Amino acid sequence: MQSEHSDASGGETAALALKILVAGGFGVGKTTLVGAVSEIRPLRTEELLSEAGQLVDDTGGVDQKVTTTVAMDFGRITIRSGLSLYLFGTPGQDRFWFLWDELSQGALGAVVLADTRRLEDCFPAVDYFEHRHIPFVVAVNCFAGARTYGAHDVSRALDLDRGTPVVLCDARDRDSGKEVLIRLVEYAGRMHTARLLDSVS
C-alpha cells in the first residue's frame, strides 16, 4: 500500500504503509498493544464476555478479563518519515479464526504475542504464520508476577524455526511496543529480500 506526498523541497516522495498483524491467544494483550502504540484512536470491536462464552473461552490466568475482541483491532503508527504501519489485531479464540485469512492478505508480517503462563495458547498462531510463510516475531508480554524466561528458552519451548526473533515486551508501553514492531519490519525485510534473491538465482 503506497501513496505520495510532497517533501519540503516540493518534490514527491513515496510514503509507504505496511500491514502488520498482531496475533496470539485469548487475553494475551493484543488489544492493549495496538492501543498503546497507535497514534490514532484505535478501532476496537470488543464485546463483554458472556456466560455462554465461558463454556468455550478459557479465562484461566486472565480472570480479570471482562471483554473480548470479536472481529479485529485497528491502529496506525508512523515509524519514521515516509513509513507507517497499519496494525490489525486478530481475535484470539478459535471460533473467530475464519477472519484470519482475510486479515492476513497483503500483510508484511505479524507479531505473535505470548504469555509464559499460557505459552501453549500461541502455538496455533505460530503454526498459522509458519505454514503460510508469513514472517513473524514472538513478543513475550511480561505480566507482573509471571516467571521470567529468556528469549532462548521461549524459542526452544515453541520449537521456532532458526532465526525467528523472540523479544520481551510490555504491551502497555508505547516504546516497548514500537521496538517490537521495528524488529518485525527489519526481520520481514530480510526474509522478503532473501526470498526474492532465491527466486532469481
Output the pLDDT for position 72.
Answer: 78
Q: What is the mean pLDDT of residues 195-200?
A: 89
Extract the C-alpha cell encoding 1.
500500500
- Name the CATH topology of 17-43+69-199: Rossmann fold (3.40.50)
Residue 201 — pLDDT band, cuts 50, 70, 90?
confident
pTM, two decimal places: 0.80
Q: What is the pLDDT of residue 6?
A: 47
How high is the pLDDT of residue 69? 47
The three cell numbers of residue 78 are 508512523
Tell how strand 136-141 and strand 109-114 pair up.
Answer: parallel
Of the listed ranges 13-17, 103-107, 156-160, the one predicted with least confidence: 13-17
Domain range list for the chain = 17-43+69-199
Burial 130-144 (b: 16+ CB within 10 A, else e): eeeebbbbbbbbbbe
- Answer yes or no: is pLDDT of 46 > 60: no
